[in-house]
Amino acid sequence: MTHSSDFAPTHDVIIVGLGPTGATLANILGGYGLKVLVLEREAGVYPLPRAVHFDDEAMRVFQSIGLSDEIVDDVRVNVGTKFVDKRQNLLLDWSRPQEIGPLGWYPSYRFHQPDLEARLNNGIAMHDNVVIKRSATVTSIEMDDAAVTVSFTKDGAPFSESAAYVVGSDGARSVVRAAIGGEWEDFGFKERWLVVDVQLTTDRSDLGDYTIQTCDRDRPTTYVRCPRDWRRWEISLLPDETPEDVTQDEFIWRNVRPAITPDEGDIRRKAVYNFESKLAEKWRSGRAFVAGDAAHLMPPFMGQGMCTGIRDAANLGWKLAAVLKWGAPDALLDSYEDERRSHTRTYVETAVRVGHMMNSAQTAESLTHVISPDGSAKMNSINRGLDNAIGEATDDDRGARMPQPCLADGTRLSDAMAGRFAVLGSRQHLANLPTPLSSGDIAICLERENHPEIEALLASKAAALLIVRPDFYCFARVSEESVIDHSMGVQSALTTLAQQVSSGSA
């Protein structure tokens, strides 16, 4: 529904939903100085865990909003997963690297969601330009060419607020997705699982630190080693089993694998979940966007549901800032769906494949066949760039994930970027920047001559110039060969950047 707006919106962005995706986006936008209102249905932070895993990309985003030092105190580095049969005999060992990776962090972490949400909310509290209203239930969303108006009730009373844009990070039953007419593309994976969170009351170090996937056609189960004394079991359910029956303590203790007894832990949470696999057909309509679970649902077997939401926030966050603060054209925001939807599809499809694997494979041979038909018995993490990234169509490196080198003074690249682009190149190539970039508001320029790790990165890619986006994907790579005789390739890349993210001319 639209209406005629004759007033300037009160806020730059309204975020509906304050889970990890919404809270991360609020921190990103707050860091840009934008005026943000967050509407959250719940009265407070949910006190029990839901998601339990995030990766190095997510931690790099947390680093970019200044919260990684606090978050790292609460997490465990994930050692990996062991796939076992119903008798707990090892079928496949999927160990995760225990070294800092090219993104500057360990590849995989286990976390306690209430801890993470508390850290994210503390970060939001540092921004006077971000306001949170809890116990707020959105009732309608109306848009026109000038603004979006969000109506909601709070403590029974009706209110409305206006903004330039609204982002729905409000979960699978998103009111924002419904308002923009977003239907689901369904990948067909539908299973019911019982999720049980246990707090140990005695030492069970024998359970080990690995996630354990029990491959059993009758009842696949998952055990997760969470931080501190928290442990999780996920138990697949049969069609005729009711939530009332499976949430009984007797059923739970009988079906947790590896086994644990009531004398060794207290059940803190038990809930039946419908694991689904869906992508929203529409991620943007006019001034409204969806992100996180409002845009995609996937089975938890790859631990990528929340991670994907964090990537959504990082992608959309800088683009909203570019339009609202740097003067970029509104059309830049169309690239959010173009980039994120195809990228997310890979994660959904992989999670579905792993889910089917758990349900069908019961021997090492069958497991290996499902994971790797070539017989390598190797399961790798997804390391994927953006298929439809903005930039020059002829640049094969645009959209690639970029590593995080350290600068000469020990500062890491993402910290130095502070929400801006990074332009990495020689002193010669950076001497005459297009006007919109030279102020430093949009980009930080780093000369390879001053930073050994920047020099090594450029050399490894045979690049005269690399432009890194604020969400740490490659915007452009200019090869050494293209600038042997002149610098047109460098200037073309810089001009394209200036034109796409600002209203200034090169």
**What is the secondary structure of 35-62 as a DSSP string?**
-EEEE-SSSS--SS----EEEHHHHHHH
Beta strands in 295-412 (DSSP E): 296-297
Domain identity same for 150 and 198? no
- From 276, 305, 334, the end of a domain falls on 276
Q: Are residues 167 and 301 in the same domain?
A: yes
| Pair 47, 120 in one domain | yes
Assessment of whether the complete model's pTM goes beyond 0.85: yes
304 and 254, same domain (yes or no): no
Triad 69, 203, 112: Cα angle to 5°: 30
Label each residue of 122-181 as H, E or C. HHHHCCCCEEEECCEEEEEEEECCCCEEEEEEECCEEEEEEEEEEEECCCCCCHHHHHCC
Mean pLDDT across the chain: 90
Q: How confident is the model at residue 161 (pLDDT cuts 50, 70, 90)?
A: very high
Q: What confidence score (pLDDT) does residue 485 get?
A: 47
Quote the CA–CA distance of 252 and 267 in Å, as a whole number.
Answer: 9
> What are 276-313's pLDDT values in tens digits?
999 999 999 999 999 999 999 999 888 899 999 999 99
How many whole angstroms separate alpha carbon 171 and alpha carbon 178?
Answer: 11
Q: How confident is the model at residue 499 (pLDDT cuts 50, 70, 90)?
A: confident
- The answer on 28 and 147 residing in a single domain is yes
CA distances from residue 160 to 1, 142, 149, 354 in whole angstroms, order as listed: 15, 10, 7, 44
Asked whether residue 179 falls in the same domain as residue 140, the answer is yes
Structure confidence at residue 5 (pLDDT): 47
Confirm whether 94 is domain-assigned: no
Confidence of residue 475 (pLDDT cuts 50, 70, 90): very high
> What is the pLDDT at residue 377?
46
> What mean pLDDT do residues 249-278 have?
95
Which range has the top average pLDDT, 305-314, 378-387, 487-496? 305-314
Label residue 414 left, alpha or beta by phi (over 0 means left) and psi (-120 to 50 means alpha).
alpha
User: What is the percent of the chain where pLDDT is above 90?
Assistant: 73
pLDDT of residue 494: 80
**C-alpha separations of 359 from 49, 51, 301 in Å:** 25, 21, 12
**Domain membership flag for residue 389:** no
Q: How far apart are CA 155 and CA 39, in angstroms?
A: 13
* pLDDT surpasses 90 at 177: yes
- pLDDT score for 244: 96
Which pLDDT belongs to residue 308?
97
323 and 418 both lie in a single domain: no
Whether the predicted pLDDT of 456 surpasses 70? yes
Look at the alpha carbons of 61, 38, 169, 268 in this order and tell me if their dihedral is positive or negative.
positive
Q: Are residues 345 and 425 in the same domain?
A: no
- Residue 302 has a pLDDT of 83
Kindly tell me the number of DSSP H helices and DSSP E strands found in the chain: 14, 23
Contact assessment for residue 296 and residue 346, using Cβ atoms and an 8 Å cutoff: no
pLDDT of residue 371: 53
Q: Sorting pLDDT into bands at 50, 70 and 90, what band is 87?
A: confident
Q: What is the CATH number of the domain that holds 269?
A: 3.30.9.10
In this prediction, residues 134-153 reach a mean pLDDT of: 96
Measured distance CA(184)–CA(161) in Å, rounded = 28
Q: Of the candidates 226, 250, 276, which is a domain's last residue?
A: 276
Task: Provide the domain count of the chain.
Answer: 3
Q: Residue 58 pLDDT more than 90?
A: yes
- The residue whose two tokens read 């890619």 is 461
- Whether 463 maps to a domain, the answer reads yes
* pLDDT at position 171: 94
**Average pLDDT for residues 176-205, to the nearest whole number?**
94
At residue 429, the pLDDT reads 87
**Number of neighbouring beta carbons within 10 Å of residue 34:** 23
Domain that holds residue 448: 413-501
Encode pLDDT of 64-82 as tens digits: 999 999 999 999 999 998 8
503 pLDDT exceeds 70?
no
Residue 483 pLDDT: 61
pLDDT in the model for residue 488: 58
The predicted pLDDT at position 96 comes to 86
Residue 369 pLDDT > 70 = no
Is residue 394 very low, low, confident or very high in pLDDT (cuts 50, 70, 90)? confident
Rounded CA gap, 447 and 450, in Å? 6
**pLDDT, average across residues 313-329:** 95
Pairwise pLDDT comparison (290 vs 490), residue with the higher score? 290
**What is residue 83's predicted lDDT score, i.e. its pLDDT?**
86
Average pLDDT estimate for 312-326: 96
Can you give the pLDDT at residue 506?
34
- Condensed to tens digits (0 to 9), the pLDDT of residues 268-277 reads 999 999 999 9
How does pLDDT run across 197-228, given as a tens digit for each residue?
Answer: 999 999 999 999 999 988 888 899 999 999 99
20 and 129 fall within a common domain = yes
Claim to verify: residue 432 and residue 449 sit in the same structural domain? yes
**Bridge pairing between strands 157-168 and 11-16:** parallel
d(CA 506, CA 494): 8
Q: Flag whether pLDDT at 361 surpasses 70.
A: no
